[in-house]
């Protein structure tokens, strides 16, 4: 989609070397399906100088649900994806319908759970995909979680996850860990990645 956007704006993407050249465009950190991204980062290289209208048109031809915030020359020696060290998230959750204590009690349980979360040296959760179960230490990626009561039974969980050479943590794993600590069944309403952190 972004490759097409660059082309529609009048730019021509440079190609990588090798037997199977690919357009030189990459996202800093892929965004999971269903996750909203704020201040996402993308790096691309043009094969030639674009027309004068390129910068203005780039914002105009983006899909309606996307907005160009800035366009800057990239002069760093390392690629953008190689510099990613973390990502900040906000997750809106509510207690499962029919199993919810009062909002105040839910908040109290979640606040207590975030305190325990911060103190624990490790916190394992299980993730099952395609019939295989693996165990993930959520604390290897997230140090602490902040909780805020928004309205009614909706809570906002905020945290920053490290991105390492071995991977990172999925927001739903953090929610699962807190659910178990708080003895609450939490349902995710919305996940937003608010920023990407670079080295």
DSSP string, 48-71: SPPPTTHHHHHHHTS-TT------
Structural domain ending residue among the three candidates 55, 75, 95? 75
Query: Contact 156/90 with Cβ under 8 angstroms?
Result: yes
Two tokens, residue 43: 């790096």
Residue 128: per-residue pLDDT:
87
Residue 98: per-residue pLDDT:
55
Structural domain ending residue among the three candidates 58, 75, 92? 75
* Same domain membership, residue 63 and residue 46: yes
CA dist 92 and 107 (Å) reads 13
What beta strand segments (E) does 65-185 contain? Answer: 84-95, 124-129, 132-137, 146-149, 154-162
* Same domain membership, residue 111 and residue 35: no
CATH of the domain at 114: 3.30.70.3190
Q: For 57-71, what is the mean pLDDT?
A: 93
* Same domain membership, residue 133 and residue 174: yes
Is the pLDDT assigned to residue 52 strictly greater than 80?
Answer: yes
Which candidate, 186, 116, 126, places its Cα nearest to that of 157? 186
Each residue's pLDDT tens digit, 133-179: 999 999 999 999 999 988 878 999 999 999 999 899 999 999 999 99
CA torsion, ordered 137, 158, 185, 140, to nearest 10 deg = 0
Q: Mean of the per-residue pLDDT values for the chain?
A: 93
Residue 28 lies in domain: 1-75
* Same domain membership, residue 18 and residue 38: yes
CA dist 188 and 91 (Å) reads 7
* Same domain membership, residue 50 and residue 96: no
Residue 99: per-residue pLDDT:
57
Structural domain ending residue among the three candidates 43, 75, 107? 75
> In the chain, how many domains are there?
2
To the question of pTM greater than 0.85 for the whole model, the response is yes
* Same domain membership, residue 101 and residue 19: no
Which residues are CB-contacts of 147 (< 8 A; sequence separation ≥ 6)?
A: 107, 110, 111, 114, 155, 156, 157, 158
């Amino acid at each position: 989609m972004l490759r097409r956007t660059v082309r529609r704006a009048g730019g021509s993407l440079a190609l990588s070397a090798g037997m199977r050249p690919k357009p030189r465009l990459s996202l800093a950190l892929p965004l999971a399906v269903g996750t909203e991204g704020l201040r996402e980062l993308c790096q691309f290289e043009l094969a030639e100088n674009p027309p004068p209208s390129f910068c203005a048109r780039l914002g105009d031809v983006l899909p309606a649900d996307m907005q160009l915030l800035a366009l800057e020359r990239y002069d760093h020696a390392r690629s953008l994806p190689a510099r990613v060290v973390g990502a900040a998230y906000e997750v809106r959750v509510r207690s499962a319908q029919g199993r919810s204590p009062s909002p105040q009690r839910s908040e109290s349980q979640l606040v207590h759970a975030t305190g325990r979360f911060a103190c624990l040296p490790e916190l394992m959760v299980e993730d099952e995909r395609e019939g295989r179960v693996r165990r993930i230490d959520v604390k290897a990626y997230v140090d602490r979680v902040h909780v805020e009561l928004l309205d009614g039974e909706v809570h906002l969980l905020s945290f920053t996850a490290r991105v390492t050479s071995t991977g990172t943590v999925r927001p739903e794993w953090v929610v699962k860990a807190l659910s178990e600590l708080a003895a609450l069944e939490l349902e995710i309403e919305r996940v937003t990645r608010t920023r990407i952190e670079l080295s």
